[in-house]
Amino acid sequence: MLFYKNTGIVIAAGGSSQRFGGGNKLLCELNGMPVFLHCIHTLGTLVPADNIVLAVHEKFQKEFQRQIERSMPGLLLRMVPGGNTRTESVFRALEALPGNLEFAAIHDAARPLVTTDLFRRCHEACCEHGAAVAAHRINDTVKMEDGDGKLATPPVERDRLWGIETPQIFRLSDLKTALRKALDDGKSFTDDAAALEFYSGLRPVPVENAEPNIKITRVDDLRIAAAFL
């Protein structure tokens, strides 16, 4: 297995879980341990311990730490308080990484099925193109809604559509510069690649992922993820 000494990993775990229907979805048990620890269990083997940072809402930090000690005793994981937006949370985590790193990977804690192979392919694509995101092709026909609440025609060309996932990997200096400008401008992005493109013009390449990489959003997603695991 490859080991990426020049890469930091930010685990974004500061979401509100509003669509989940109650409680913090990342603390729900999934096949014996909390949702958020699955990706750490997988990706934490790829970088030095100091190169991984977890961004968590301040009010949940003690519970996250308790769960880490219960499920992965001995794991020393750096944790920073999440901000009011994803952009602020990720930037805080990037600031906590060692300053000598070349690359930064951002991964949603709500995606427990990530694999080391997907990370490797994203990292290779970032080295070649400057930025890369895990993504899947859209198989459904996609249409826009018009002003009257009806579906417009013609449909969007699905051959060029991608569903964006994480991990997303960037050159660390590029991403920090983009997110700092976004914060200075009062802008927030739900996707870190979008912030990079907005401020630098650098467009990441998609790394096709045909394997399940579900994002836990609703309660039913836990059952789906458990079946895949």
- Give residue 19's pLDDT: 62
Q: How confident is the model at residue 79 (pLDDT cuts 50, 70, 90)?
A: very high
**pLDDT band at residue 190 under the 50/70/90 scheme:** confident
pLDDT band at 171 (very low <50, low <70, confident <90, very high): very high
How sure is the predictor about 201, in pLDDT bands with cuts at 50, 70 and 90?
A: very high
141-168 residue pLDDT tens: 888 888 888 888 777 788 889 999 999 9
Average per-residue pLDDT in the chain? 93
pLDDT on residue 148:
85
DSSP for 97-136, please give it.
S-TT-SEEEEEETT-TT--HHHHHHHHHHHHHHSEEEEEE
**Is it the case that residue 78 has pLDDT exceeding 90?**
yes
Q: Max CA-CA distance within the chain?
A: 57
**25-26-27 Cα angle (round to 5):** 90
pLDDT digits (tens, 9 = 90+) for 12-56: 998 655 666 667 999 999 999 999 999 999 999 999 999 999 999
| Mean pLDDT in residue range 169-191 | 96
Q: What would the two tokens of residue 178 be?
A: 């983009």
Determine the Cα–Cα distance for residues 23 and 25; give it in Å rounded to an integer: 6
Kindly state the percentage of the chain with pLDDT values over 70. 96
pTM for the model stands at 0.93
Rounded Cα gap, residues 70 and 64, in angstroms: 10
pLDDT the model gives residue 9: 98
How confident is the model over 85-140, as pLDDT tens digits? 999 999 999 999 998 999 999 999 999 999 999 999 999 999 999 999 999 999 88
pLDDT recorded at residue 28? 95
